[in-house]
């Protein structure tokens, strides 16, 4: 490894395999913080001009090539890790190769991304047996603008504002190029048009969490007239389970747990009963539920709170029968189905008030989400 430094710039050249599709240089440039509103105005203005240029310059010739070529750079800024470990393995690299686009993919200019607990577990090597090769650009959730489309893509065009979870399977071969970069390549089927009333940061907060919330409810056979208890109702998934159960599935009664300071949030999301877990045990309540959605890892207690024949969805921790676990499959069709509820305001994204974290503070964002104290989602925005 060679190392060179100046007062404001640090470049590290690690020894990585020459066959790696990622750049082998980690480059750090330290810049002063800027006003987020100014950043947003500048970014959106720049993105609009860039999108217009791309539309004009898109190839109009019939081609058998994998992509319709537009002018995008060959290298980009991205967060990368080349080994598993703590937050310190994350490095900022200014010279990562922009990923190639396959026939069924689009290239997205990333405007905002979001973190999920799975990002940290993946970086720690919790499922390295099925992970993509290292080095890796992390990140599942994305919102941005389409700048290139594969030859088989039918539903999107250059200039479309989209959002989605870039990994079809969360644990099985996730993309080596994730969303914590200036560009990411995503299969068309994983994306949907961004809800018109949401900004990029709000849209980026949704995909993995809302798809997990929706699929979990579907797998329990949840339907109109049923009751549900949501554990960790103020979290990224839990806050959306409350809203989907009420607004989309027609729940007759929604209860949810949180700490004292989040009880009003639960009620504002539609919870009929907000339970302070610091003062009472939900399993000791006389009321029982058709479904318990365990988004915190308390399945052994959750099974005591269901009616006879009820179901428990367990997202983390040990599973106690009749509880079950599933790993969400990313699906743009689910986002398209839920867009009307988002655009009407019936379902709202919840972003942690400590964010959004700017792109140069991704390591801090990882450290924060791994405290398990986040409210809603941890968002990274803007991405230049």
Same-domain pairing of 299 and 361: no
- Indicate if 186 and 292 belong to the same structural domain: no
- pLDDT for 70: 56
CA atoms within 13 A on the CB side of 182: 16
Determine if the peptide bond prior to 47 is cis (ω within 30°). Answer: no
The verdict on 214 and 174 lying in the same domain is no
DSSP secondary structure, 146-179, as one string: EEEEETT--S--TT-EEEEES-SBSSSS--SB-S
What is the greatest pairwise CA distance in the chain? 69
147 and 96 in a common domain: yes
Burial of 111 (0-12, 13-18, 19+ CB in 10 A): buried
Please give the torsion angle defined by the CA atoms of residues 365, 366, 367 and 370, in that order, rounded to the nearest 10 degrees.
120
| Strand pairing category for 253-258 and 227-231 | parallel
Residues in CB range of 117: below 8 A, 6 or more apart: 316, 369, 370, 372
> Comparing C-alpha atoms, which of 123, 161, 119, 132 is closest to residue 144?
161
Q: Is 117 inside any structural domain?
A: yes
Same domain membership, residue 214 and residue 317: yes
Residues 189 and 216 in one domain: no
Domain-terminating residue out of 309, 325, 341:
325
Q: Is residue 160 part of a domain?
A: yes
Q: Does residue 231 share a domain with residue 168?
A: no
Within-domain flag for 96: yes
We report the CATH number of the domain holding residue 375 as: 3.90.180.10
Q: Is 94 inside a domain boundary? A: yes
Tell whether 151 is covered by a domain.
Answer: yes
205 to 184, 226, 273, 344, 349: CA distances (angstroms): 17, 28, 25, 17, 7
What single DSSP character describes residue 264?
A: H
Q: Name the token pair of 338.
A: 């839920």
Structurally, the chain folds into a number of domains equal to 2
Q: What are phi and psi of 284, to 5 degrees?
A: -90, -5
pLDDT number for residue 174: 97
Residue 345 domain-assigned (yes or no): no
315 in the same domain as 355: no
CA-based nearest residue to 164, from 218, 214, 115, 204: 204
DSSP annotation of 294 reads E
Query: Dihedral, CA atoms, 248, 254, 255, 261, nearest 10 degrees?
Result: 60
The list of the chain residues with pLDDT below 70 reads: 1-70
Bridge-based pairing state of the strands 306-314 and 323-324: parallel
Q: What is the pLDDT of residue 71?
A: 82
CA-based nearest residue to 230, from 193, 191, 259, 271 = 271
Q: Which of 325, 343, 365 is the last residue of a domain?
A: 325
What dihedral angle (degrees, nearest 10) is formed by the CA atoms of 161, 163, 166, 168?
-120
- Helix 207-219, helix 238-247: angle, nearest 10: 60
How far apart CA 12 and CA 269 sit, in angstroms, is 47
Verify that 131 and 240 share a domain, yes or no.
no
Residue 126 belongs to some domain of the structure:
yes
The answer to whether residues 252 and 318 belong to one domain is yes
The reply to whether 310 and 276 lie within a common domain is: yes
CATH code, domain with 275? 3.40.50.720
Residue 268 backbone dihedrals phi, psi, to 5 degrees: -65, -25
Judge if 229 and 182 occupy the same domain.
Answer: no
pTM recorded for the entire structure: 0.82
Residue 39 lies in a domain: no
Work out the number of other CB atoms within 10 angstroms of the CB of residue 272. Answer: 15
Which range of residues forms the domain containing residue 167? Answer: 75-194+351-380
61: tokens are: 């010739």
């Amino acid at each position: 490894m060679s190392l060179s430094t100046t007062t404001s710039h640090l470049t590290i050249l690690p020894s990585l395999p020459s066959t790696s599709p990622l750049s082998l240089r980690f480059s750090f440039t330290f810049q002063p913080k800027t006003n987020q509103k100014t950043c947003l105005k500048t970014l959106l203005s720049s993105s609009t001009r860039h999108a217009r240029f791309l539309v004009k310059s898109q190839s109009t010739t019939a081609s058998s090539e994998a992509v319709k070529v537009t002018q995008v750079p060959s290298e980009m800024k991205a967060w990368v890790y080349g080994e598993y470990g703590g937050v310190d393995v994350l490095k900022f690299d200014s010279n990562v190769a922009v990923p190639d686009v396959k026939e069924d993919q689009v290239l997205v200019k990333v405007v905002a991304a979001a973190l999920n607990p799975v990002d940290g577990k993946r970086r720690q090597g919790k499922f390295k047996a099925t992970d993509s090769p290292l080095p890796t650009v992390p990140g599942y959730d994305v919102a941005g603008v389409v700048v290139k489309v594969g030859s088989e893509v039918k539903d999107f065009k250059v200039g479309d504002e989209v959002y989605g979870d870039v990994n079809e399977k969360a644990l099985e071969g996730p993309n080596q190029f994730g969303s914590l970069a200036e560009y990411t390549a995503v299969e068309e089927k994983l994306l949907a048009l961004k809800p018109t009333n949401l900004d990029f940061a709000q849209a980026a907060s949704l995909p993995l969490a809302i798809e997990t919330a929706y699929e979990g409810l579907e797998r329990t056979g949840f339907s109109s007239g049923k009751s549900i208890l949501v554990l960790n109702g103020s979290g990224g998934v839990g806050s959306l389970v409350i809203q989907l159960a009420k607004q989309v599935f027609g729940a007759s009664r929604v209860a949810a747990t949180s700490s004292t300071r989040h009880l009003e949030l639960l009620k504002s999301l539609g919870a009929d009963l907000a339970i302070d877990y610091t003062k009472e045990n939900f399993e000791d309540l006389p009321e029982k539920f058709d479904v318990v959605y365990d988004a915190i890892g308390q399945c052994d207690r959750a099974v005591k709170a269901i009616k006879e024949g009820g179901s428990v969805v367990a997202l983390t921790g040990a599973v106690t029968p009749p509880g079950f676990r599933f790993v969400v499959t990313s699906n743009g069709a689910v986002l398209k189905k839920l867009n009307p509820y988002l655009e009407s305001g019936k379902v709202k994204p919840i972003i942690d008030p400590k964010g959004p974290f700017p792109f140069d503070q991704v390591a801090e964002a990882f450290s924060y989400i791994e405290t398990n104290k986040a409210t809603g989602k941890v968002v990274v925005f803007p991405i230049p």
